[in-house]
Amino acid sequence: MKKKYLKNIVGLTLVEMLIAVVVSSLMMAAMYSTYTIINTSYNQVVDKAKISRSSRDLVELLIRDIRMSGFKYYLGTNELGYPEQSYLEFIGGATSIKESHDPLVIIQNQLGHNIGDTVPTPVAKNDIGDLCCDKIHIVFDDFNQIDKLQPYKRYKVTYYALPTQDADGQNKRYAVYKSKISWRQSRSSDTATWPREGNWVSDCSECYHKQLVKDYVEDMEFIALDKEGKKLSPNPNPSNDSARKNLYKVRSVDIRLAFRSEKEFFRFDARQGNERQLSGFSRTVKKYSDRYLRDNVVVTVYTRNIVDDGIF
């Protein structure tokens, strides 16, 4: 009976067990590979969304301020004793960028900024052939009922970039900054000035300089367009006759902001001849072989308050 019972026992041979282990290993490897691909794709989508999301602050600030360019405040008849409209002196046209009150001035491929808009020693770029970044000056008026001495206000806001890098000197990049100054002219005065360099606090409590807006920037580009959507060339600024003629022809501005991921994004460096590329409106295509993700954010902003009065 015992021998007959043993003959009926069913089991796995060593060969069958080895085959099962190999098949299970292949299945687990396939599942892990699939998970890795899906997880990598998901992280890439998340990182791209993070770059887009983190850029919104700068984009929203630029949109808001560019839309305000050229704005004039009109109070009208009032019982408070304020002038019906702005009494502030206007300096425009054939003047320096420092003194200009023109609504929108674009300076191409220039880093750094001070009130005089002069850089005695040019700010060195991360790459001698780099075209980053454009600078934009925006001027608009406002009204402050609380300020009895100067109720009508005029502000000049400037966005510009400076080179920066990690603490260890690696990963060179750019950062975008914002400055704001206010025209000082009391109701009893016929003329005034912008605050003096080095006296921000004493001259203007509402002014600020070199306020960091966004780090990890590759490029910032502004293209001024006329009413037909054509590029204005040269850029609107008071530096010469041709550029001055475009100061009040601006009807919209194309903005391109190029951002770089804070951490490495790709698993491997790009192979030579197959580098990752980043292009701009009027920039040459740049190629990168490192592992960082770079992406463009492009928006168009319409200038609602700039009127071509035929002066130029």
pLDDT (0 to 100) of residue 204: 78
221-240 mean pLDDT: 92
The region of weakest confidence among 37-51, 54-68, 197-211, 236-250 is 37-51
Domain boundaries, the chain: 48-302
Query: pLDDT > 70: what percent of the chain?
Result: 86
pLDDT at 290 over 80: yes
pLDDT (0 to 100) of residue 54: 67
pLDDT at 2 over 60: no
pLDDT (0 to 100) of residue 104: 95
pLDDT at 251 over 60: yes
The region of weakest confidence among 97-111, 245-259, 266-280 is 266-280
- pTM higher than the cut 0.85: no
159-176 mean pLDDT: 87
Most confident of the following: 47-61, 71-85, 170-184, 244-258: 244-258
Position 18 confidence tier, pLDDT thresholds 50, 70, 90 = confident
pLDDT (0 to 100) of residue 273: 85
pLDDT at 311 over 60: no
pLDDT (0 to 100) of residue 231: 94
Q: Can you tell me the distance from the alpha carbon of 305 to that of 208, in angstroms, rounded to the nearest whole number?
A: 25
pLDDT (0 to 100) of residue 47: 67
Q: Can you tell me the distance from the alpha carbon of 224 to that of 234, in angstroms, rounded to the nearest whole number?
A: 9
Position 263 confidence tier, pLDDT thresholds 50, 70, 90 = confident
49-95 per-position pLDDT tens digit: 666 676 778 889 999 999 999 999 998 988 888 888 999 999 887 77
